[in-house]
Structure 1
Amino acid sequence: MLTSNIKTVRNDMKTLVKDAQDLLREASLATGEKADELRARGLALLDTAMERAQEVQAVALEKGKAAAQSTDEFVHEHPWKAVGIAAGVGLVVGMLISRR
């Protein structure tokens, strides 16, 4: 689910930035009141993009904290399992690195 949300937000961000860039390009060619309107719309799109990015950052931070907390609790409750898991992961990573 997190991966799906990240992809959705990434696509939304790309679309918002592209729309803002298009509006700002059009505004640079326009003059007067129309240019002001286009610039304002572009800035509003960029503000929306920044808000979405901050929301995603906050969610990622909360999920990261929760994962760290649960990992910490697991290690304190099962230290030898944690050592075994770490050794196994280290062994697999070492084998993968040595194959190159």
Structure 2
Amino acid sequence: MARVNAQTAQEILMADFQTLVADAEKLLAHTATLAGDQADELRDQINESLQQARETLKLTEESLRERGNAAMTATEDYVQSNPWQSVGIAAGVGFLLGLLATRR
């Protein structure tokens, strides 16, 4: 379940960032009608920023996927090698959450 939630959160974040980049590209296309040196300079700056954003997005996505997979693998290995400790930890956390929920 945590794996699905983490992947969903990553996908939502990446989709939002890609939408932001797409919107910025549309803005850049709309500024093409502007004339003058300042408009050309502005378009160049926006284009450069978009290039950097795409590169950052790719690096961040790869990093998040690697770290997420490493965390899932480590958790699965721990649970498989220590099943009773994992059950005890889960029961303790559930008990504490139950106490907190009943106090409200």
TM-score, normalised with respect to structure 2: 0.60
Overall identity of the aligned pairs, in %? 41
Where does 1:29-68 land on structure 2 (aligned, <5 Å)?
31-68=35-72
Runs of 4 or more above 4 Å deviation: none
Instruction: Select the residue among 84, 92, 96 that pairs with 1:88.
Output: 92
Q: What is the deviation of 1:84?
A: 0.5
Q: Considering Cα pairs closer than 8 Å and 6+ residues apart, tell me whether 1 or 2 has the greater RCO.
A: 2
Residues matched between the structures, number: 76
Secondary structure at the aligned position of 2:96 is classed as: helix
Quote the offset at 1:44 in angstroms: 1.2
- Superposed, 1:7-22 pairs within 5 Å as none
Q: In structure 2, how many angstroms separate the alpha carbons of the residues matched to 1:53 and 1:97?
A: 39
Secondary structure, aligned partner of 1:31: coil
RMSD (Å) for aligned C-alpha atoms = 2.5
Is structure 2 residue 102 aligned with structure 1 residue 98?
yes
Distance 1:97 1:47 in 2: 47
